[in-house]
Amino acid sequence: MTTILLLGKTGQVGFELEQALGPVCRLIAPGHAEADLTDADAIRALIKNAKPDVIVNAAGFTIVDAAESQTELAMQLNATAPGIIAECAEQCAAVLIHYSTTFVFDGTKREPYTEADTPNPVNAYGRSKLAGERAVVAACRRHLILRANWVYSARRTNFALAMLKLAREKAELEIVNDQIGSPTWARDYAAATVQLIADHGRLRDSSGIYHLSAQSHCSRMQWAQKLIDCARAMPGAGKSWAALRPTTTAQYPHPAPRPLYTVTSNQKIEATFGIRMPVWEDRIEAFVRSLPWQ
């Protein structure tokens, strides 16, 4: 049975990965105490003892605005640690699946980004993730770097949960309508990862960077409206929901600049592994149904 070491099991994607991978492999999923990514010796000892066939790294510093003021920690978790993990993966002949982000792009393009496009991050978070990609490529020959887009889940802090909470508390919300991306349920990232690992031979022979997100795209305002429409129909959810009004990113500034367009093409991963992600709208209703409404 394949031995998989999962890092980051308490995050949005990591939690779903633990649920999905547990039944299909010998899974080692340490917590923070056992996998301190600020401790290089601890990382090396963990991987040496685990002897994994595959390492899935879903850990990292993911708070985009906080990365502007905590640049050293963001770089440690998103770049230095992945480089050490990659070195260890190379030494034990493991495949490394590493989650990155579409925030490595500047958002000035107006058609889906491909893996051939040149990254140009506009914030500290994106710069740290790009540094992590480069560290992985430099240290480990057998790697898959998955660039994720607009992740949401029932855990942690994310746009979907924030919208559902605020829309029940306020009569009106202003939502930016000039940020365009592909909302992708963390559960679908986990399912795609299971499919990748199942094709173990191709996995080892097809190293590289791959874009992976839900099909199609929308603005953040369209995403929020879809969430509210689905939630309003749920038994026990109540009928009083905020009206949405459009605004722009310029009118709603954050500490970290945001790329306005992060839509990516999934053509490469579809052609290589046969993975076709669901359309973003089709998954919102299932996500909303999974939440406790009673």
Active site residues: 125
Distance CA 97, CA 136 (A): 10
CA nearest 189: which of 207, 208, 210, 214? 214
Distance CA 175, CA 167 (A): 11
Strand partners, 215: 279
Both tokens assigned to 88:
């260890």
Distance CA 140, CA 155 (A): 31
SS3 199: coil
Instruction: List all residues 6 or more positions away from 22 whose beta carbon is below 8 Å from its beta carbon.
Output: none
31 within 8 A of 10, measured Cβ to Cβ: yes
Instruction: List all residues 6 or more positions away from 165 whose beta carbon is below 8 Å from its beta carbon.
Output: none
* Buried b or exposed e, range 175-195, using 16+ CB within 10 angstroms: bbbbbbbbbbbbbbbbbbbbe
Strand partners, 208: 144
By DSSP bridging, strand 180-181 and strand 218-219 are antiparallel
Query: Following CA atoms 67, 145, 258, 180 in sequence, which dihedral angle do they give, to the nearest 10 degrees?
Result: -150
